[in-house]
Chain A
């Protein structure tokens, strides 16, 4: 659907630019705020040009942390968050691709039941089952550990469903050809299914990494020690109720830093993402 009218191009551009400004201005403002003295931010007259504290603020944020509250360097928080997001994304992909393979390609008793049970967990996100899940994690002594932070979030129906739908589009003849070629279930999975799923895996990784990175409620419950803090929780804890005590320039710098990894993942994986949508041949 390409409309080749030479008419009011400027109108389309105007709409797009307005959209971009609305989306980008808060981000810009956050960045500006992270380069000024705390007093400049606190007096209510926010300047629109960068200040001179850029390097100083970011150095302090990454390596020292907010002096008045947690004193936890944001660099360490980012490492925590990165570990959590990667374990969640990779764990989810591994489990869901294997379970989808089982559901699609194997006949076993209660296969449909198994599938529907997986499907039903879609209706039970962490927020709904938070108390029992917390209880289990606490009884297992997993509070303040990476296992406790990630394992309860790994099992997911979304990935299983996505891979199931994709596997069902792989022609049966490919499985049969592979059987005749002498490949067993594991070889078929490794040699044929995995390479064909590459783009789906990439797309899912992007979504799940961002999902993991942005986790708020679960880490808030599970982590109490400062050195286990994730960046999203870190931002929250930097903001103290007494306005004067909040180091706004550090909060803003942390917010900027929190945005970098998801943006980087999207930018790096974009090519795969699009390929996954465009390439349909099997």
Chain B
């Protein structure tokens, strides 16, 4: 069990800077997810924590000990790789036992720990198999077993589910969550899948182009995105964002006068990015109560929900997520209510939340 502290970590490969100073602390027992699009530096950060890459500047400490110059094997971490990285010539049992053997753990102790991990992960029947005789999900469980037997201070997961099919991914996601609830080891989990991030994380770090855009609990990040990038990245379908100017207490997006969120600092004439999530737009009972009116372009009926792609008077696109019972047809005009509490505003120049 340990706290992981990352302070001022930067990384450049030659002239290319990929991390521009990351500061964060992962509490003891916390499940932290690094979320971001590919190329944002999240895997690099994880590999720096693992000791597989050397940071260009800054400190990493695990359990209060600065580990900048400590070899990966001495950091007391375990890592689960995207492609599992199982030793192909060793059986499942030996794959899990290898790290313990290298460290000179007594044989009965190895036996006990491997059997325990196999029990937790339901690998008991497969211990004598070779990795190539296993399915993707089983291989991933062995990779996790290899991490568990070591009983490390920190688990590092590098996109462990992205090689699995959709159904298995959901199942493994739940297993990882359950595992963490039972053993409570500090975990850092890298993913580009926001559903994984939202469901697994105690807290998440949204990364973009080498910066930590926002650190917070999943719902906090969803409800109060700190920047336009986070707003657009978290949530599916993505938040509607419109360029607007504050005028007369309204956000003027072209010809449409939209309500403003309840926030300070929305002075007259300020350029903003105005945002609302598709699921927070409501249909108004009548044109008189409407905050805006849209013309429907396209309807995607998903059963539980109906996604409506629509346009404001002057052409600004708006996606709405309406209950599946709503019957809407292309070409309809819909009066909308935009509750101020569900609206977001970001500074147009900096992209930061207002």
Interface residue ranges, A against B (CB under 8 Å):
171, 173-174, 176-183, 187, 191-192, 195-196, 281-282
Residue with the greatest number of chain B CB neighbours at <10 A, chosen from A173, A195, A196: A173
Q: Is the CB of A282 within 8 A of B85?
A: no
Which 6 A-B pairs rank lowest in CB-CB distance, beginning with the nearest? A181-B99, A173-B85, A182-B73, A177-B85, A182-B102, A195-B89
* Interface contacts beyond A176-B85, A177-B86, A182-B103: sample of 8 additional A-B pairs, CB < 8 Å, sorted by A: A176-B81, A177-B81, A178-B87, A179-B71, A180-B78, A180-B79, A181-B98, A183-B102
B241 in the interface, Cβ–Cβ < 8 Å? no
Count of chain B residues with a beta carbon within 8 Å of a chain A beta carbon: 23
For the complex formed, measure the closest distance between the CB of A220 and the CB atoms of chain B, giving whole angstroms. 43
14 contacts between A and B (CB under 8 A): A171-B83, A171-B85, A173-B83, A174-B87, A176-B52, A176-B81, A180-B50, A181-B73, A181-B98, A181-B150, A182-B99, A187-B102, A192-B89, A196-B89
B72 in the interface, Cβ–Cβ < 8 Å? yes
Q: Is the CB of B102 within 8 A of A181?
A: yes
For B14, the chain A residues whose CB sits under 8 A away are none
B343 in the interface, Cβ–Cβ < 8 Å? no
Task: Choose from B50, B72, B79, B85 the contact partner of A174 (Cβ within 8 Å).
Answer: B85
A182-B77 Cα distance, complex, nearest whole Å: 10
A191-B79 Cα distance, complex, nearest whole Å: 19
For B108, the chain A residues whose CB sits under 8 A away are none
A34-B79 Cα distance, complex, nearest whole Å: 66
Q: Is the CB of A180 within 8 A of B77?
A: yes
Q: Is the CB of B83 within 8 A of A177?
A: no
For B146, the chain A residues whose CB sits under 8 A away are 177, 181
A45-B178 Cα distance, complex, nearest whole Å: 88
Q: Is the CB of A180 within 8 A of B72?
A: yes
B88 in the interface, Cβ–Cβ < 8 Å? yes
B132 in the interface, Cβ–Cβ < 8 Å? yes
Q: Is the CB of B87 within 8 A of A180?
A: no
A187-B87 Cα distance, complex, nearest whole Å: 13
For the complex formed, measure the closest distance between the CB of A202 and the CB atoms of chain B, giving whole angstroms. 14
A182-B78 Cα distance, complex, nearest whole Å: 10
CB-nearest residue of chain A to B132: A281
For B89, the chain A residues whose CB sits under 8 A away are 192, 195-196
DSSP class of A's interface residues: helix, strand, loop or mixed? helix
Q: Is the CB of A180 within 8 A of B88?
A: no
| Chain A proximity mask over B66-109: 1 for CB below 8 Å, otherwise 0 | 00000111000111011101111100000000110011000000
Q: Is the CB of B88 within 8 A of A196?
A: yes
For the complex formed, measure the closest distance between the CB of A81 and the CB atoms of chain B, giving whole angstroms. 34
A195-B98 Cα distance, complex, nearest whole Å: 14
CB-nearest residue of chain A to B75: A180
For A178, the chain B residues whose CB sits under 8 A away are 87
Q: Is the CB of A191 within 8 A of B98?
A: yes
For the complex formed, measure the closest distance between the CB of B94 and the CB atoms of chain A, giving whole angstroms. 10
For window 83-140 of B, CB contacts with A under 8 Å fall at 83, 85-89, 98-99, 102-103, 132
For the complex formed, measure the closest distance between the CB of B198 and the CB atoms of chain A, giving whole angstroms. 27
Task: Choose from B72, B81, B102 the contact partner of A173 (Cβ within 8 Å).
Answer: B81
For B88, the chain A residues whose CB sits under 8 A away are 196, 281-282
For the complex formed, measure the closest distance between the CB of A9 and the CB atoms of chain B, giving whole angstroms. 36
A204-B83 Cα distance, complex, nearest whole Å: 29
For the complex formed, measure the closest distance between the CB of A267 and the CB atoms of chain B, giving whole angstroms. 25
A181-B50 Cα distance, complex, nearest whole Å: 12
For the complex formed, measure the closest distance between the CB of B59 and the CB atoms of chain A, giving whole angstroms. 20
For the complex formed, measure the closest distance between the CB of B85 and the CB atoms of chain A, giving whole angstroms. 4
Residue with the greatest number of chain B CB neighbours at <10 A, chosen from A174, A179, A180: A180
For B82, the chain A residues whose CB sits under 8 A away are 173
For B79, the chain A residues whose CB sits under 8 A away are 176-177, 180
For the complex formed, measure the closest distance between the CB of A179 and the CB atoms of chain B, giving whole angstroms. 5
For A182, the chain B residues whose CB sits under 8 A away are 73, 99, 102-103
CB-nearest residue of chain A to B130: A281
CB-nearest residue of chain B to A282: B88
A197-B71 Cα distance, complex, nearest whole Å: 27
CB-nearest residue of chain A to B103: A182
For A187, the chain B residues whose CB sits under 8 A away are 102
For the complex formed, measure the closest distance between the CB of B134 and the CB atoms of chain A, giving whole angstroms. 11
For A195, the chain B residues whose CB sits under 8 A away are 89
A195-B71 Cα distance, complex, nearest whole Å: 25
A192-B99 Cα distance, complex, nearest whole Å: 13
A60-B72 Cα distance, complex, nearest whole Å: 66
For the complex formed, measure the closest distance between the CB of A254 and the CB atoms of chain B, giving whole angstroms. 43
CB-nearest residue of chain A to B81: A173
A281-B103 Cα distance, complex, nearest whole Å: 28
For A196, the chain B residues whose CB sits under 8 A away are 88-89
For B132, the chain A residues whose CB sits under 8 A away are 281
A181-B78 Cα distance, complex, nearest whole Å: 8
CB-nearest residue of chain A to B102: A182
For B102, the chain A residues whose CB sits under 8 A away are 181-183, 187
A174-B71 Cα distance, complex, nearest whole Å: 16
For the complex formed, measure the closest distance between the CB of A60 and the CB atoms of chain B, giving whole angstroms. 49
Q: Is the CB of B87 within 8 A of A192?
A: yes
CB-nearest residue of chain B to A170: B88
A183-B101 Cα distance, complex, nearest whole Å: 10
A191-B90 Cα distance, complex, nearest whole Å: 10
